[in-house]
Amino acid sequence: MIVTLSGITGVGKSFFKNEIIDKLNFKNLIIVTTRKKRENEIEGIDKHFVTQKEFFELKNKGEIVADFEFLGEYYAYIKQDIERKVNQVTELHYEAIENFKKNIKEELFAIYMIPNDIERAKKELKNRNLSKEVEEKRLKEIINQKNIFESDEQIRNKFDYIFENNYDEESEIKLLEVLKSILEKKGEEIYA
């Protein structure tokens, strides 16, 4: 099964991805990107960082799938990684969910995360020490994405589960319980 985590910047996708990996024994489905590596990110663990030339070479060879563009950078998944028969989790921009579903033959559970406190999400973004230009784009994207998601039922319907993050332990437990329930229905052992 592949679990996707979508939602506005600062909602906690990376945190929850790591919790799912640590507590439910999922593997990280690593995305390939042309985006510059952030200070704390590690190549091959957080993402695969490539140049645009390398990205399009991979695409032309058919080695990546479900590619999309976001804020002028390109993203995709290594086809071989997606086809692994293990439980995996990844972060995915909400606009890419439809394309992702078209390219995935594995069972998929798509989660959209919303913050109960939009100001907290903005604060989380500012803690990333991004360039002013990137930070401003991402702050605008927070408001735009929130408005789009709230007003467009078709977008909401693309997701299997809408999760509200209260930025507390109760939220963490709730999301993990939802996934544990799915695994139990599939008859899979839970490693929490």
Domain extents in the chain: 2-185
- When the pLDDT of each residue in the chain is averaged and rounded to a whole number, the result is 89
Q: What percent of the chain has pLDDT over 90?
A: 52
Kindly give the pairing relationship between strand 88-91 and strand 47-49.
unpaired
Non-local (6+) Cβ contacts of 94 within 8 A are 6, 7, 112, 145, 149, 155, 158, 159
Q: Is the pLDDT of residue 111 over 50?
A: yes
- Range 161-175 average pLDDT: 93
Which residue's structure tokens are 């910047």? Answer: 9
Q: What percent of the chain has pLDDT over 70?
A: 98
Q: For position 152, what pLDDT does the model report?
A: 86
Band of residue 178 on the pLDDT scale cut at 50, 70, 90: very high
Q: For position 192, what pLDDT does the model report?
A: 46
| Multiple choice CATH, 2-185, 3.40.50.970, 3.40.50.300, 1.10.150.120, 3.30.9.90 | 3.40.50.300
